[in-house]
A and B are shown apart, each in its own frame.
Chain A
Amino acid sequence: MGLLYRHNGDTSYASWASLGPLTLLQVAVAETQSARAFYDDLTSKGENQPKSGRSDNRGIAVVILDALTRRQWVREEDLAKDLKLHTKQLRRTLRFFEEEKIITREYRRETAKGAKLFSAATAATVDVQLTGKEGEEKVKLHTHSYCCLDYAQIYDVVRYRIHRMKKLLKDELDNKNTIEEYICTKCGKRYNALDALRLVSFEDDDFHCESCNGKLEVESDKFVVQEGADGDDNARRRRHEKLKDMLQKMEIQLKPLMDQLSRVKDLPVPEFGSLLAWEARASAMGRAANGDMSGDSKISQLGYNGAPMPYSGDTKVVVDFNGTEGNRHDVKSETESTSLKVLPPWMIKSGMVLTKEQRGEVKEEIKMNGTSTSSSAQYSDDKKSTVDHDDKKNIQDEYIKAYYAALLKQQHELEASSKQELSNTLAANDPSSSAYNRQVGLKSKHEEDDDGTDWEEAPVAGTGNENYKVNDLNVQADVVPADDDEDVDWEEG
Chain B
Amino acid sequence: MFFHIVLERNMQLHPRYFGRNLRDNLVSKLMKDVEGTCSGRHGFVVAVTGIENIGKGLIRDGTGFVTFPVKYQCVVFRPFKGEILEAVVTMVNKMGFFAEAGPVQIFVSNHLIPDDMEFQSGDMPNYTTSDGSVKIQKDSEVRLKIIGTRVDATEIFCIGTIKDDFLGVINDPATV
Contact = CB atoms under 8 A, between A and B. Distances in A.
B107 A197 contact: yes
Interface size on A, as a range, is 10 to 19
Contacts of A196: 95-96, 98, 107, 109, 157, 159
Interface in B141-176: 147-150, 157, 159, 161, 163-164
A180 to B, nearest CB: 4
A175 B147 CA distance: 12
Nearest to B94: A205
Nearest to A193: B159
A177 B146 CA distance: 9
A197 B98 contact: yes
A434 to B, nearest CB: 65
Given A180-B109, A194-B150, A196-B107, A206 B95 contact: yes
B148 A193 contact: yes
B49 interface: no
A205 B109 contact: no
Interface in A68-85: none
Contacts of B125: 205
Contacts of B105: 197
A259 to B, nearest CB: 24
B159 A194 contact: yes
Contacts of B164: 176
The B interface, classified by DSSP as helix, strand, loop or mixed, is strand
Interface residues of B, number: 22
A197 B157 contact: yes
Contacts of B112: 176, 180
Interface string A183-209: 000000000011011001000011100
B120 to A, nearest CB: 12
Given A180-B109, A196-B109, A205 B163 contact: no
B121 interface: yes
Nearest to B119: A205
A259 B50 CA distance: 58
Given A193-B159, A205-B93, 4 more contacts: A180-B159, A194-B107, A194-B148, A194-B149
Interface of B: 91, 93-96, 98, 105, 107, 109, 111-112, 121, 125, 147-150, 157, 159, 161, 163-164
